Structure 1
Amino acid sequence: MRFAWIDLREVPRPQLQAVVDAAVHARMTGVVSADAELLGTLPPTVTRVLVSAEPAAALARKPADKSADKGGKEPKGAGDAKSSGAAGTLADAGIDVLLRKFSTQDELDALAAENRAAVRMPGSGGPATGAPVTAAPVAGFVDVRDDRTLQLSCVGAMALPYTVIHFADPTKIPLEIVLAAAESAEGKLVTVVGDLEEAAIVFDVLERGSDGILFTPRSADDVFALARLLEATTPQLELSTLTVESIRHVGLGDRVCVDTCSHFEEDEGILVGSYSSGFVLCCSETHPLPYMPTRPFRVNAGALHSYTLGPDNRTNYLSEVGSGSALLAVGADGRTRRVVVGRAKLESRPLLEIRTHAEDGRLVSLTVQDDWHVRVLGPGGKVLNVTELRTGDELLGYLAQDKRHVGLPIGEFCKEV
């Protein structure tokens, strides 16, 4: 699951408290700061990441050393915290992860050694209970500027629980290399991004993307916008079986072919319907035809008045779909994914009206090009040529629960015929 750490170090001071409050309210995974006191005020629901040049053990000793310098006694329980290394002191101070920079193999080896020492098994100086003692894990930060630092980041991604990487150049090729090198790594890769647009790109690199991002917001609004980006997933749809009532040749009209920037699977297509309350799963051109090559990016979708379902439960008319639009690719099992439209082709063709009904009696209608090569999907992903459909045939479709106004769901009375 992708996540974000909010970097407070360069947030404008007048906006700092609002950004902190937004990060907590929006349930950001982590907050990064060089101010341990500030991190200590955050709730444990947030991963508190302290940027420090010092090892965990040195930080853990500081409170005790400070009291000793003043000639005072260690507070009650301090001995236990000290004996457990960084675990007790840093955790009590509200620190969950230490973030330290590395730029050489020796520095990386030192960070890896700290992490190996973070869990001390019974008999190695832990509490009398004999339970393992876990110190705050140490994350590494590396600035990738050339091949040497790129290779170092790949090694770090395999060795550390978190590897935070800043890429000096705008190309995403170095990120692809790190992702490939760390495919089997148990640790998490966190990529520094400059804005929300870059964050969206980073999450899509090599289809899997970076595990997390490190982002410096300028205001609380940026935090909430990032939260919306992180929540942007496509739903699993519950498809319904539709029964064909009638097929009618309706004459010449304009139909739309939707050419996407993605390769459809054989059981995928897009949902299209004449009414906003119901859609038929129109098949992509991934299946061979005797007279033309396959177009695995295309769906011959239907007449230009038709609705099609997109992300965020929003519909568009096919007449509105064009280059850069986003639609839902839908599989016969109801799985969905976001696809981007490369172009839409509007051409005049003979049209065919297909009228179906759902089990609850709801009417679902689809108007498509009147030609054998246009296909829809039936239960189990069965491919059906529209001109060969007969009364009683079963198609796959989706029944919407809401009416629509400018593509948005709305609970109002609306009858479509």
Structure 2
Amino acid sequence: MKEIWLLVESESWDEVKEMLKDAIEIGFDGAVLREDFIKKAEKLGRMQLIPIERSLISVKSAEDQTKAIESGDVVVLRFEDWKVIPLENIVAMKKHGKVIAAVDSIEDAKLALTTLEKGADGIAVSGDRETLRKYYELVKNRIESVKLVKGKITEIRPLGVGERVCIDTVTLMFPGEGMLVGNRSGFMFLVASESEESEYVSSRPFRVNAGSVNAYLKAGDKTKYLAELKAGDEVEIVRYDGNARKSFVGRVKIERRPLILIRAEAEGEEGSIILQNAETIKLVNPSGKHISVSEIRPGDEVLVWLGRGARHFGVEVDEFILER
């Protein structure tokens, strides 16, 4: 996830303190401030603090660009004349540490976060509480697009009993939203949140009953095994139209339940998912409607995501792999 930092250049501790309090309450990741203020700042709340004297680089020349690339830790870059090319070079060539771009407007922030598609690791900003909140919303609640395609169900088969994973998030979800899960890292199903009322149980709009412990979960550019998830882990909530947002795990429940295998085909690819065999467990169709696993039939269409690369420790790599 992209980071947002407070950049404080004031020499007045009273001014710095008020800005720090706002940033901590809003949820900023860190702050760049005078080194002699760091000890005082540590008492206000938990966030990463770095000295402005050793972290802020004004990029005016090729030498400054090289200095930023060779810095091994967090580096905050200020471009005297806002130019895309120096940031592109630094993002592309920097191998260690983080690139945080100091920006003065929402437009510059959007540009910094998307340069070379990857973008800077985050932005550093200053301003009053409302300004800081607007930047935070841009960075942390930024809508990212996920390409979903139609998959046609080819097989439905009840299995025996096994362990399945419920993911309770710190975010409320809505009908048509869920998470991408599958037995293949390159073929995942949109598993619906429990945001719909049921005849038998109340809705749990913070929950996705995601599948068997072996399955992959898409979380941004990485995948995670469901069995590995724990409180505080970052997850991705995906809507039927492809819009996505970030959230975090509040609790994971692994319980033994009867399971069902569902297999589908999309664009010449085949994938499967193993879910709990219960009427409250649902996939999502192309119109955003939830379909219960107790009602789904061969030939029905559901939304899936196709990834083309192999995965090693959750990261996409270019190598041969065959998953069935």
TM-score band (shorter)?
A: 0.5 to 0.7
Map of 1:43 onto structure 2? 80
Corresponding position of 2:271: 364
Deviation, structure 1 residue 293? 0.8
Residue ranges of structure 1 left out of the alignment (5+ in a row):
32-41, 47-96, 98-161, 166-174, 180-188, 191-208, 213-228
User: Secondary structure of the residue that 2:145 maps to in structure 1?
Assistant: coil
Distance, in Å, in 1 between the alignment partners of 2:185 and 2:159 is 21
Aligned residue type for 2:80: P
Please report how far the alpha carbon of residue 403 of structure 1 lies from its aligned counterpart in structure 2 after TM superposition: 1.0
Q: Distance in 1 between matches of 2:156 and 2:256?
A: 20
Code of the aligned partner of 2:202: P
Give, in whole Å, the separation in 1 of the partners of 2:243 and 2:314: 22
Letter in 1 for 2:241: D
For the 8 Å contact 2:218–2:224, the answer to whether it is kept is: yes
The share of aligned pairs that are identical, in percent, is 31
Q: Distance in 2 between matches of 1:12 and 1:290?
A: 60
What residue number does 2:317 align with?
Answer: 410
In the alignment, the residues of structure 2 paired with residue 280 and residue 354 of structure 1 have an alpha-carbon distance, to the nearest angstrom, of 10
Deviation at residue 382 of structure 1 after TM alignment: 1.6
- The structural deviation recorded for 1:322 is 1.4
Match of 1:380 in 2: 287
Answer yes or no: is the 8 Å Cα contact 2:310–2:320 preserved in 1: yes
1:356 is matched by which residue type in structure 2? A
- The equivalent of 1:349 in structure 2 is 257
Q: Which amino acid aligns with 1:381?
A: G
Task: Tell me whether 1:164 sits opposite 2:127 in the alignment.
Answer: yes
User: Any idea what the Cα deviations from partners look like across 1:124-181, whole Å, max 9, x if unmatched?
Assistant: xxxxxxxxxxxxxxxxxxxxxxxxxxxxxxxxxxxxxx9834xxxxxxxxx4xxx3xx
1:91 aligns with: none
1:310 and 1:327 in contact (8 A); partners too: yes
CA distance, structure 1, for counterparts of residue 192 and residue 218 of structure 2: 14
What does residue 189 of structure 2 align with?
280
Q: How far apart, in 1, do the equivalents of 2:156 and 2:274 lie?
A: 10
Q: Give 5+ residue unaligned stretches, structure 2.
A: 12-32, 37-50, 69-74, 84-103, 105-124
Cα displacement (A) at 1:231: 9.2
Q: Post-superposition shift, 1:5?
A: 7.3
Residue 211 of structure 1 deviates from its aligned partner by: 3.4
Asked whether the equivalents of residues 57 and 76 of structure 2 are also in contact (C-alpha less than 8 Å), the reply is: no
Q: Is the 8 A contact 1:6 1:30 kept in 2?
A: no
AA in 2 matched with 1:383: H
Q: How does 1:15-414 map to 2 (within 5 A)?
A: 16=53, 19-21=56-58, 43-45=80-82, 164-165=127-128, 175=129, 179=130, 189-190=131-132, 209-211=133-135, 233=142, 235-311=144-220, 313-359=221-267, 361-414=268-321
Structure 1 residues 344 and 236, CA gap change in structure 2 (3 angstroms):
same
Deviation at 1:325, TM superposition (A): 0.9
Structure index of larger Rg = 1
Matching residue of 2:111? none
2-side partners of 1:4 and 1:45: how far apart? 19
Q: What is aligned with 2:100? A: none
Q: Distance in 1 between matches of 2:160 and 2:223?
A: 26
> Which is richer in helix?
1
Q: RCO greater where, 1 or 2, for CA within 8 Å and sep 6 or more?
A: 2
Task: Say if 2:163 and 2:212, in contact at 8 Å, map to a contact too.
Answer: yes
What is the CA distance between 1:210 and its match in structure 2? 4.0
Provide Cα deviations, 1:63-116, integer angstroms capped at 9, x if missing partner. Answer: xxxxxxxxxxxxxxxxxxxxxxxxxxxxxxxxxx9xxxxxxxxxxxxxxxxxxx
After the TM superposition, list the runs of 4 or more consecutive aligned residues in structure 1 that deviate by more than 6 angstroms.
2-5, 12-15
Q: Which has the higher strand share?
A: 2
Q: For residue 336 of structure 1, what is the amino acid of its counterpart?
A: A
RMSD value, Cα: 3.4
Write the letter of the residue equivalent to 1:377.
V
Cα distance 1:409–1:12, how it changes in 2: closer, same or farther (>3 A)? Answer: same
Is the partner of 1:381 in helix, strand or coil? Answer: coil
- Equivalent residues of 2:175, 2:289 under 8 A apart: no
